[in-house]
Amino acid sequence: MAIVVIGLQWLRNMRMREQDEEKRRKKEIRPHPISIRATRVSPAASIAQMAININGPETHGKFMSDCLIEEPSALVRSEAGKKAQSRVWDELMKKLEAIKPGVTKIL
């Protein structure tokens, strides 16, 4: 059942893209001069999201690979992995602060 739902979602997304392309070709859609452009979620991301939604709360806070709950690698669980995670987080926060001062206070 889940695979059918995911497949239907993917097909619907592909059809919507085709319709949007068709409308653009016909010049039916003209972007507003001041507009925010957004993209649709990729098929892989929508499949992962569907897997999370179908599986429910038991997937919350878990590591998933190929839409299945998996145990993280030994590196991630090790002391060295914790240090690496901390270092990456600190570097990311510094870069975010450089872009927009004060943004990290909400995290």
DSSP string covering 5-66: HHHHHHHHHHHHHHHHHHHHHTT-----SS-----PPPHHHHHHHHHHHHHGGGGTT-EEET
Report pLDDT digits (tens) over 49-62. Answer: 777 777 778 877 88
Q: If pLDDT is split at 50, 70 and 90, which confidence band does 88 have?
A: very high
Q: What is the pLDDT of residues 17-73, one digit of tens each?
A: 777 777 666 665 555 555 455 556 677 777 777 777 777 788 778 887 777 788 888
Tens digit of each residue's pLDDT (9 = 90 or more) over 94-103: 999 999 888 8
Distance of CA 17 to the CA centre of its chain: 18
Share of the chain above pLDDT 90, in %: 18
pTM of the model: 0.44
H or E segment to which residue 82 belongs: helix 79-99
Sign of CA dihedral 53, 57, 59, 61: positive
Domain spans of the chain, in order of start: 1-30+40-71, 72-107
Confirm if 97 and 103 have CB atoms less than 8 A apart. yes
